[in-house]
Amino acid sequence: MERNIETIIEETELLIERNDDQALNHLLEELNISEVKDLVDELPEHGPRFIEMLPLSRSVHVFRILDFPVQERIIKKLSGTKITELINELPPDDRTSFFSELHGDVVKKLIILLPAEDRKEALALLGYEEDSVGRLMTPDYVAVKKHWNVARVLEHIRRYGVNSETIDVIYVIDDKGVLLDDLRIRKVLLASPEAMVSDLTDDRLIALNAYDPQEEAIEVFRMNNRVALPVVDHDNILLGIVTVDDILWLAKEEYTEDIQKIGGTEALDEPYLDTSIFELVKKRVGWLAILMVGEMLTATAMGFFEDQIHKATVLALFIPLIISCGGNSGSQASTLIIQAMALGEVTIRDWWRVMRREIISGFMLGVCLALVGFLRIFIWHLIAPNIYGEHWLLIAGTISVSLIFVVLWGSLSGSMLPILLKRLGADPATSSAPFVATLVDVTGLLIYFICAVLFLSGTLL
């Protein structure tokens, strides 16, 4: 019967308390990899003990899916023998990812544990820029020549495929290592043993460049439905492959980073509970300070219209309504466009289509909110005529027209800022909802008081 993680934790804690290593080892053997990972996360102080107990292949599989802070804590407490086994057995791409997060001195100590060939390979992968596709790739793949027949290809796979990251796809290269094409293993298995590789290729090659940003790899995988893609240099020499499991982890990290930026904070380098209080404050205070300065401009704008507010204090009652509607519409538009850009649905070239749609939708949203605002003032006037006095209709008109233009402006600002930042080479996620809301607060007040002056001059003003 399947057990939930709470039951597993309780049973594990009981065995640890009894110091029954044999029963604990048996329990760990019964669990699948994800359950052991959850166990390490829930009982971090015993994580090294679990890794030590597991057979090498299972301990590697668990270690490679742990978050880096957990990996770092565990590696510090493992025995020297286990560390050597782990580092040597880790796939090259996972090893590179782990090394790239460590301090340089620690990397030097660990990299010495590798055999000469693996050490050379690790150093080569670490030589690529941190956020490049080269850091994701593994040099463990199966490559064949176009003049081989299928029988020779299958023999080659049997001999070298065991060390490959995946054999779902094999790669066709020439004598200089230039990538010519790739083949799905299905196509090879179904072909006649005498068929030539050149007869199976279709010249529909899709490859990644080792020096391209990692974000581009996510989009290529998403659009082409591949389990692995080859990685080449500028001369189209095959360097390695990137598999979909690494892309899924990368996509998760990118999504988390974007969500944090949209919320108005710098991206955290570690999971929330593993981040120190000082680091949390450091990551958040910058944006809060910028937004505070921005909101000070709101006070400046109100000060500029102080006379109008003094003459018609009723205008002050609707300031929160105006700025919240503008900020909300801007935040909505910003979030929608950032998400669309992340999914590849919107590009910089689509700016006019986006603007046109937001002008129409922003105007329609503004009209809807304007009707609500007008009805609110009308109903309140019927209930208590003295609240707005004889000029209630002008006040209702001021609020309604202001809402139309403020919501329209908020929608335009929220949709165009991410595209503008992308065009300037910045991360669109930094045009976060709080930033857009602050911008629209200030400009919304200007729109509001301009409408008030146009509607109420000669009456209340």
Q: How far is CA 26 from CA 11, 30, 55, 162, 386, in A?
A: 12, 6, 11, 28, 80
Provide the residue type at 355 as one letter: M
Of 222, 139, 227, 151, nearest in space to 182 by CA: 227
Whether 429 contacts 262, CB under 8 Å: yes
What's phi and psi for 173, nearest 5 deg? -130, 165
Of 100, 99, 63, 93, nearest in space to 78 by CA: 63
State how far the Cα of 100 lies from the Cα of 351, in Å rounded to an integer.
37
Whether 95 contacts 122, CB under 8 Å: yes
- 39: which 2 tokens? 């166990």
The sign of the torsion formed by the CA atoms of 342, 348, 353, 359 equals positive
| pLDDT score recorded for residue 1 | 44
| pLDDT score recorded for residue 431 | 58
Over its length of 461 residues, how does the chain's per-residue pLDDT go in tens digits? 456 778 888 888 888 888 888 898 888 888 889 889 988 988 889 999 999 999 998 999 999 889 888 898 899 899 888 999 998 889 888 888 888 888 877 888 888 888 888 888 888 888 888 889 998 888 888 999 999 999 999 999 998 888 788 888 999 999 888 999 999 999 999 999 999 998 898 878 889 999 998 888 888 888 888 888 999 998 899 998 998 888 888 887 777 777 777 666 666 666 666 777 887 777 777 767 776 777 677 667 667 767 776 767 777 888 888 888 888 898 888 888 888 887 778 888 999 999 999 999 999 999 999 999 999 889 988 888 887 778 888 889 999 999 999 999 999 998 998 898 888 877 777 656 677 877 888 888 888 888 888 888 877 66
What's this model's pTM, rounded to 2 decimal places?
0.62
Q: In terms of residues, how long is the chain? A: 461
Of 336, 348, 321, nearest in space to 411 by CA: 336
Sheet with 169-173: strands ordered across: 143-145, 169-173, 179-184
The sign of the torsion formed by the CA atoms of 209, 214, 215, 221 equals positive
As a whole number of Å, the end-to-end CA separation of the chain is 77
State how far the Cα of 294 lies from the Cα of 218, in Å rounded to an integer.
35
**For residue 1, what is the DSSP state?**
-
Strands 179-184 and 169-173: antiparallel
Whether 166 contacts 119, CB under 8 Å: no
State how far the Cα of 441 lies from the Cα of 461, in Å rounded to an integer.
23
- 367: which 2 tokens? 């009209």
Residues 6+ apart with CB under 8 A from 204: 181
State how far the Cα of 443 lies from the Cα of 60, in Å rounded to an integer.
56
- Residue 115 exposure: Cα atoms within 13 Å on the Cβ side: 7
Mapped onto helix, strand or coil, the DSSP state of residue 221 is: helix
- 212: which 2 tokens? 């391209």
Q: How far is CA 97 from CA 68, 72, 173, in A?
A: 9, 12, 27
Number of H helices, E strands in the chain: 22, 6
Q: How far is CA 225 from CA 22, 93, 142, 219, 411, in A?
A: 44, 21, 20, 10, 34
DSSP letters of 313-375?
Answer: THHHHTHHHHHHHHHHHHHHHHHHHHHHHHTTS--GGGHHHHHHHHHHHHHHHHHHHHHHHHH
| pLDDT score recorded for residue 119 | 83
Q: How far is CA 1 from CA 4, 7, 155, 311, in A?
A: 10, 12, 43, 76
| pLDDT score recorded for residue 444 | 86
